[in-house]
Each structure stands twice: as structure tokens, then as C-alpha cells.
Structure 1
């Protein structure tokens, strides 16, 4: 029995393979790229994936429960742009924050309701909500693509905060990673996420509140997207809504999937997000140091994402029930 347990430690899976690749890239870059191993660059690596990691945490909760959220980037950008627009127009902090947060929660609730109760495939629901959020806010509410943070606002101060020379975004990412870990591992509803993702029919027959759980997952994703947007504004002192049309969404999926979260549902956790974020951050940093053009960086990332999806399909084959549900 002990021999079998010891043997299991050496069985390769996607998570361990990605961790090994991350270690190899880190070692090679440390010796081969000047300036990579400096403290400032290592802090920059972690800082660069903090916002991406928070978005990936929300995506992970949704994917583990057999879904996907294409609206995350739109919610992140447009909610914060709306928030900043109201502040610049003279709204009070409490009023602007309460209104925007209510809107963010409403989007999550609508996404979850349409997936859970109307039984519309999540990919169509969240794609439509992303288009609606971007189109409505950009055409009816904000007046420019980029909305600045008002002078003297707390977001400006937050962006400059550091502890032990480490930006505050890193600690905020770590805090939310811990919160999501505790939710998934130690709460009843967190365990329900795995049960429902693994077999939603069996979970429903066992009396689990599968539909309310779906609504909760999309609401969590929307709230985490808003928080990621606030950190982005704190770092850049503005929110550029053109990020909605960027490759950021694919980076979020890359972080989640490449770390080992199965698209078929019921598998993965915060550890997989951290591993995926580590590989993505180191890879992006090394490509930047080497000065690879952005178009080729996107090609490399898309190739890695495609490979990760293929590997996921092999390791976590979609069963008949998953195919019928059509969540992703």
C-alpha cells in the first residue's frame, strides 16, 4: 500500500507537467536573460499576473461548475469606467460605488439565471451579456474610451502602496486566492460546486441546490471582475475600455486551463490557478525581455492555449451528459 502511494507521487498529470515546465523556463531565463533574476523584475512578474490571477479565480469557480464566463473582461472594464465617470461627474464615493456594485451583481445574477433556469448555454449567455455591457456603457454612459481616476482619489494612493517593496496588488491577489480556496475546500456550497460540476444530474437528485449554485458562481465571477478592474485602475490611474477587444480573455482561460482545471467540470482549484499564473507571468516576461513582437506573443499564447485544451480533452474527456448540457 505504501509502495503504491509512493509510486503515485511520480505519476505525471497536467498540473505537474506545467509546474515542471515553469521551473525549467525560470531556470533557463535566470541564466540566459540578463536582468530576469533581479528583484525588480521578479516583482514585476508577480505584479503583472495579479489582476489576471483575480480574473482567473472567478473563471475557475465557473469552469469547475461546468460553465464559462465570456463577460468577465467587459464587466471589469465597463463597470470601473462607469464608476470613474460618475466620480469625475461629482458623484459621492458611496453613491457611485453602491450603484456600480449593484449593476455588477445584477449582471452576474442575470447570467446565472439564464444559464440555470432558462437553460441557455453559458457561452451564448455570457457572450451576449459581454456585448450588451460594452455597447450600452460605451454608447450611453461614458464619453471616452479611457476614463481617468480623479485626482486625490484613493485608487491613486492604492496604486502606490507597497509592503516590503512588493506592490499591494500582489497581496490582494493572495488574499482573494486564499478566500476562494477556503470557499471551495471548506464550505458546503464550495463542495457543491465540485459535485455539480462532476455530475449535475446526480447532484440535483441528491437534493443539492444546483440552480442557485449556478447563479452564485456567475455572481462571484462578476464581483471578482470588478475588483480586478479597480486594481487595474489603481495601477494605471485610468481604465481603458478598449481592453474588452484585447486578448485578455484568452489569457484568463489560459491561466485556468493550463494550470489543470478541467473544462469538463468538477476538477481543479486555486492551486491550478497559481501554477497557471506563474507560467503565464514568466512566459510573458521572458518574451518581453527577448523583445518578441506582440503579434508573435499572441501567436505563442494561442498555440499554448490550444495545446492545453487538447491535453484537457485527452485527460478529462467530455461525457455524454456534458455534451448534452452544452455549457461550454
Structure 2
């Protein structure tokens, strides 16, 4: 049987996987240096931090939400942490303070969405602006904050195991942990139930609101981990990334991989497929020397197409409409 021009068993995930394989095959043959070991490692490394952030976004979206504060939390929390270290504060005190700040933002996002019932898109957009403005004006002295000389983050950024950067292993470990959480834990199953039908989940006694708060806390913590890896790799944290297209790239990886914006669908495999496609595509465009402006235009078009396809494959039902948009 056919639906909307596609075979019934040909899901978005499979379509994207086939496209990824096709682009990889063509680029391997047509682009010089694409299939070299160094370039393949560079592709995986380039999507590691993006993939980590997309894991946090995936957990939020599966539960029928969205978190637009991830990049701000990632950049500003680590910038504040590095600033405190550069000002002479002890390691453990600085780490405790920044972790407390990250937890407060995650809890605030979750509380406002779950209990105040403010749409997540507005809550997290406002918290992103607040975090950026507060940290940039009150807690750090410049846009870019360097990693202190000899600090463990500097060593972490240069660490390689079997010639593979350490952030790749962190991405793999977090992907596996997220898979175990979603697939084999009670609270992980709650994410799907609440995303599929929040009202029914609450009616049967499921702790839907505490679960929602937990998701935003996990998202904030994952963003902090991604920020540490970014600072280690670049030896600094540049807060201007908050105004970059990275947030759209995170949503793109999650949505294009097949995680439905209507909630209750998707998993870690979708993130991996989406990250692979975007990583290969960006690397190929870089080799072709396509200007960044046009790369962003291409990514925007892909995101728009992915959202349209998601709307076709995962139509918003009456219950979803009553809950309102994310």
C-alpha cells in the first residue's frame, strides 16, 4: 500500500538513512580526500557535540516539548565556570556553583512548563535570553573566556584514544545511556506515554508533571557537558555561539532523523541518523568550498522540508491541538 506517495513501510527514518548512504557514497567517489581516515574522524568529531545536544533535545521533543535554551546554557554556564577559574576560585567551588546554576535553570524551565503551563517555546526562549544577558553582563568580562593553562579541560580537548578524539566516546556513551533510559526504565517509558497523550497520562496517575521537570533538568545538564567538551576542544568558550545557527542545527538533527514533533515517537537511533546526514553534508559542502551563507540556506531548506514531512507522517490529532503547540 502507498501513503502520500511513499510505500507504507518506508518511514522518514529509512528515507533519511538511504539518503545519507547515497550522499556518503557519491562524496567518497567525487570529492578528493573525503574518504580519508583523517576526514572521516573529522566528520564524527564535528557532529559529536551537536549529537550530544540533539540527544537532550530528543528527550524533550519525544515528551512533546522543546528547549530553545540549550545553546545559551551550554555557552554561558561554561563561560562562567572558566571565568571563575581564571579569577582564582577553586575547582570544586566553581564547579559546584555552575552546576547549581544549571540545575536552577533546568528546574525553572520545567516548573514553568509543567505547573504554570506556559508554552515551552516561550519559556525556553525567555530563559535563553535571561541566561545570556545575566552571565554576559554580570559574570564574565568578554565574549570569549579561555581555559586556564594546565587545566584538565585543556588536556581533555587534546586527548585521543586509538586516534579518535575523546568527545566521540562521550557522545557514544551518552547515546547508549539515553537509549537505556528511554527503552528500559519506567521513567523513560513515561516520556513516551506523556508525549503521546499528556492528559491521559495524568488521568491514570502517571507523574507527568514531575517527569516534565526532569526532562528539562536533564536537557540542561547535557548542555553543560556539551559545553565542557566544546571548551576543551577549542581551549576557550566563545559566547557568541548563542547567536549562531547551532540551535537550529540541533532541532534539524532531531527532526530530520525522524523524531516526531507531535510527541511520543522516536529515539536515539533517529538522532544518530540525523547527525550522520548533517555531518556528511556539512563536510561535503566545506570540501566544495560552499560559502557559509549558502550552507545555512541549504540547512534551513532541509529543516523546513523535514518539518513538512513530519507533519505529513505524524499529523497532529484533536488531542494534540487541544494541548496547543510546543
Provide TM-score, normalisation by structure 1: 0.97
Distance in 2 (CA, whole Å) between partners of 1:250 and 1:323 is: 24
Q: Which residues in structure 2 correspond to 1:159-308 (within 5 Å)?
A: 159-308=157-306
SS of aligned partner of 2:145: strand
In the TM superposition, structure 1's runs of 4+ consecutive aligned residues that sit over 3 Å from their partners are none
| 1:81 matched residue in structure 2 | 79
Q: What are the Cα deviations for residues 231-254 of structure 1, in whole angstroms up to 9, with x where unaligned?
A: 000000000000000000000000
Distance in 1 (CA, whole Å) between partners of 2:32 and 2:154 is: 32
Q: Which residues in structure 2 correspond to 1:96-107 (within 5 Å)?
A: 96-107=94-105
Q: How many residues align?
A: 320
| 1:3 matched residue in structure 2 | none
Q: What are the Cα deviations for residues 92-127 of structure 1, in whole angstroms up to 9, with x where unaligned?
A: 110000100110011000000000000000000000
Distance in 2 (CA, whole Å) between partners of 1:251 and 1:139 is: 27
1:322 deviates by 1.8
| 2:54 matched residue in structure 1 | 56
| 1:6 matched residue in structure 2 | none
Provide TM-score, normalisation by structure 2: 0.97
The CA RMSD measured in Å over matched residues stands at 0.9
Q: What are the Cα deviations for residues 176-219 of structure 1, in whole angstroms up to 9, with x where unaligned?
A: 00000000000000000000000011111111000000000000
Distance in 1 (CA, whole Å) between partners of 2:236 and 2:316 is: 42
Q: What are the Cα deviations for residues 41-65 of structure 1, in whole angstroms up to 9, with x where unaligned?
A: 0000000000000000000000000
SS of aligned partner of 1:147: strand
Distance in 2 (CA, whole Å) between partners of 1:81 and 1:326 is: 35
Distance in 2 (CA, whole Å) between partners of 1:327 and 1:99 is: 34
| 1:140 matched residue in structure 2 | 138
From 100, 109, 121, the counterpart of 2:119: 121
